[in-house]
Amino acid sequence: MSTHVVASSEIDQVRKSLLAWYDKVHDVRGMPWRKRYDPSLGREARAQRAYEVWISEIMLQQTQVVTVIPYYNRWMAKFPSIADLAGSDIETVNGLWKGLGYYSRAARLLKAAQKVVKELDGRLPDNAKDMQAKIPGVGRYSAGAICSIAYNESVPVLDGNVHRLLSRFLALHAPPKGKQTLDILWAGATAFVQNSSRPGDINQALIELGSTVCKVREPACSGCAISSWCQAYRRTRGASSQDGKGHDADIEELCTLCEPLPVDEEEAGLVTLYPMKVGRKKAREELDIVNVVEWRRGDNSERWFILVRRPEGGLLAGLHEFPTVAAVSDSLAASKDDPVILDKLLATLFVDPPTLFLKDSNSQKVNCEATGTLRVAMIRPVGDVVHVFSHIKKTYRVQWVILEGGGDKPPKPQGESCLPTVPTREMIEEDGKDKRRKVSRASKGGNASTSAAQWVPLDEVESTNIGTGVMKVWKLTKALWE
């Protein structure tokens, strides 16, 4: 177990080498949020730096740096301060976030900013303990990153990159999400910043080293600033025992936490054996019925499409989508009751839903003598769209539904439509490696919260706040008439 502790006798040398390397690469990737720490900054200026780092850290969750940079620049141009963000609304925020994914992050940023302005005098907390306790969406990693970088507080970070780097540095081959494993890695991260005058730079250096040098595959060990002290690298150089000197370890010295290294000739002796590999949990598969509902004038001079705004919590929070029946069973999807399902869906959408419902098996328009009556004129299967989230594999089964009649304007939607758009299942929000479970509890027959429906002209659909999966649905449907 002593192998898995950062040696106090070496830490000063390790930090010196790490910081010397970081000072050379600090500006290489052009991250606009990465600035040199300035001890002369006053209270307001440090709080502003905390805001900038906070935005970058939330954007960087599950997202690559190269993707985040343009989003960050647009965000800061629109919301240069936390007060500017707090004064905004979810539609504007989601519009800036569009395409970045994990949309609940944007909603949490807005709510957190409003809380900071209302309850914390417009400034983010200046210590990690309060940051984690008082700011929604901020876990231990994010709190450590923000407060070490903006406030120079000596608190550690442990994101995926640092987790991998320290697992190799300490030759720790144990279940990566186990409590003992995480305790050891957090202790190692703490040793790096403890009593340091540059904790923010050390944390950023560890993250940068893990991202660019100590990579998942093909790590550049020969160019690593701390490889001389890395236990995994020492083993590749011929010292295979726990004592690091090539001697066979006594049974009393064997680690009771580490799992045996896999017997794989191709990987034998490689640092990529660390951290321990675990089988990835298979994504849950779900089938959604998506209805691209269009209303058009009889002369086709106007074409409108109805969109429904999702609830503020859960998957794709606050975004718009086409009316959807989510997580239907395979038997229901294969049944002949889909006209009945759509009929019920339309009844929830409109104040005066279509009174006539006929489906032509050849996807032809239904003849109806009552031309002034709102009616379903056509239903046409579009196809399937597969969209994968971190924990759900969605298959969107799309159909194009055309409504005609009912007057010179699209039929009036319900002010609030209780649509079954969100599965009543457990949603997992992730901040670095800190997981907190949020359960969406919906009442039978609909969501726990309601979603407003609205008509959007044909040429404005793509500019609304819709997610990537919905955009795929839209483009597949558009291909039918284009």
Give the 3-state secondary structure of residue 333: helix
Query: What is the residue range of 397's domain?
Result: 284-360+372-420+452-479
Q: Counting beta carbons within 10 angstroms of the beta carbon of residue 444, is it exposed (0 to 12), middle (13 to 18) or buried (19 or more)?
A: exposed
146 and 216 belong to one structural domain:
yes
Same domain, yes or no, for 154 and 15?
A: yes
Calpha distance 64→72 (Å, rounded): 12
Exactly one of 10, 44, 52, 57 is catalytic; which is it?
57
Residue 311 lies in a domain: yes
- Measured CA to CA, the distance from residue 146 to residue 138 in angstroms comes to 10
Give me the pLDDT at residue 87, please: 97
Given 214, 229, 244, the domain boundary residue is 229
Smallest CA-to-CA distance from 365 within 401, 397, 336, 411 is with 401
For residues 175 and 58, membership in a common domain is answered with: yes
Confirm whether 2 is domain-assigned: no
Whether 401 is in a domain gets the answer yes
Contacts of 214 (CB under 8 A, 6+ apart): 161, 164, 165, 168, 220, 221, 224
Under DSSP, is residue 303 helix (H, G, I), strand (E, B) or coil? Answer: strand
The CATH number that applies at residue 300 is 3.90.79.10
pLDDT reported for residue 417: 42
Which residues contact residue 456 at a Cβ distance below 8 angstroms, ignoring those fewer than 6 apart?
A: 304, 305, 306, 307, 464
Domain match, 296 and 196 both: no
Active site residue 57: yes
| 208 plus 289 within the same structural domain | no
CA atoms within 13 A on the CB side of 423: 18
Does residue 156 belong to any structural domain of this protein? yes
> What are the percentages of helix, strand and coil residues in the chain, rounded to 5?
40, 15, 45
For residue 25, what are its two tokens?
Answer: 């690469």
Query: What is residue 457's predicted lDDT score, i.e. its pLDDT?
Result: 92
One digit per residue, the tens of pLDDT, for the chain of length 482 reads: 677 999 999 999 999 999 999 999 999 999 999 999 999 999 999 999 999 999 999 999 989 999 999 999 999 999 999 999 999 999 899 999 988 888 889 999 999 999 999 999 999 999 999 999 999 999 999 999 999 999 999 999 999 999 999 999 999 999 999 999 999 999 999 999 999 999 999 999 999 999 999 999 999 999 999 999 999 998 877 654 444 444 445 544 578 889 888 766 455 568 999 999 988 778 889 899 999 999 987 777 789 999 998 877 667 777 899 999 888 876 665 555 566 778 888 888 888 887 544 444 454 444 444 446 788 888 999 999 998 887 888 899 999 999 988 888 888 888 644 443 333 222 223 333 333 333 233 323 333 334 578 899 999 999 898 988 999 999 999 999 98
Pairing type for strands 392-404 and 375-388 reads: antiparallel
Phi, psi of 375 (to 5 degrees): -145, 160
CA distance 438 to 53: 25
- 292 belongs to a structural domain: yes
pLDDT at 163: 98
Domain match, 318 and 219 both: no
34 and 112 belong to one structural domain = yes
CA 482 – CA 478 distance, rounded (Å): 6
428 lies in some domain: no
In a domain, 329, yes or no: yes
| Closest to 393 in 3D by CA, of 406, 384, 381, 403 | 384
- 139 falls within a domain: yes
**Two tokens, residue 431:** 């901040």
Q: What is the CATH number of the domain that holds 83?
A: 1.10.340.30
Do 319 and 183 have their domain in common?
no
| Cβ-based neighbours of 321, under 8 Å, separated by 6 or more | 290, 307, 308, 310, 421, 466, 467, 470
Q: Which of 336, 306, 299, 301 is nearest to 324 (CA)?
A: 306
Whether residues 183 and 289 share a domain: the answer is: no
Residues 194 and 288 in one domain: no
**Contact call for residues 232 and 171 (beta carbons, < 8 A):** yes
Structurally, the chain folds into a number of domains equal to 2
- Let me know whether 69 and 199 are in one domain: yes
Asked if residue 100 and residue 186 are part of one domain, the reply reads: yes
